């Protein structure tokens, strides 16, 4: 098990996330391939999976897409971006990690910090 797999904790396979979002599997795979959705190979079979924290009420977190774009603009790989999103940060205004902030709808601070990664 790699550190990102442990850090994220709960994962959804491509079929599981497709079902959760009501999308065809090929659409989810295209989103991953196009860099619109972060994924990693996890588990004993190294299946491509997406963090379960990205989904709420049958939809992707509203601020996720723009945040991924900022992280990509900072030239982070998928693994680096996942590590950054899920690593606890004591300097945030709420207890948790950047993904916690996104789940609370507080994208401005997360994107500001993500854009600083490019410098």
pTM listed for this prediction:
0.90
What mean pLDDT do residues 112-118 have?
87
Using CB atoms within 10 Å of the CB of residue 68, give its burial: 0 to 12 exposed, 13 to 18 middle, 19+ buried: buried
| Residue-range domain boundaries for the chain | 3-116
| pLDDT mean across residues, the chain | 92
Band of residue 102 on the pLDDT scale cut at 50, 70, 90: very high
Kindly report, residue by residue over 32-51, the tens digit of the pLDDT. Answer: 999 999 999 998 889 999 99
Separation CA 115–CA 119 (nearest Å)? 8
Strands (E), 10-119: 11-13, 40-42, 47-51, 55-56, 59-60
Residue 95: its pLDDT value, please? 85
Separation CA 78–CA 56 (nearest Å)? 21
Residue 43: its pLDDT value, please? 87
Separation CA 83–CA 77 (nearest Å)? 10
In 74-106, which ranges are continuous DSSP H helix?
78-86, 98-103
8 Å CB contact between 13 and 49: yes
What mean pLDDT do residues 61-73 have?
93
């Amino acid at each position: 098990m790699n550190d990102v797999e442990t850090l994220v904790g709960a994962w959804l396979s491509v079929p599981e996330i497709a079902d959760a979002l009501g999308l065809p599997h090929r659409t989810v795979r295209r989103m991953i391939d196009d860099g619109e959705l972060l994924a990693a190979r996890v588990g004993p079979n190294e299946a491509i999976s997406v963090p379960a924290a990205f989904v709420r009420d049958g939809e992707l977190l509203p601020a996720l897409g723009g945040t991924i774009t900022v992280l990509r603009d900072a030239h982070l790989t998928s693994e680096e971006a996942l590590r950054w999103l899920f690593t606890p940060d004591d300097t945030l205004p709420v207890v948790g990690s950047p993904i916690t902030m996104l789940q609370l709808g507080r994208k401005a601070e997360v994107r500001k910090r993500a854009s600083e990664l490019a410098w």
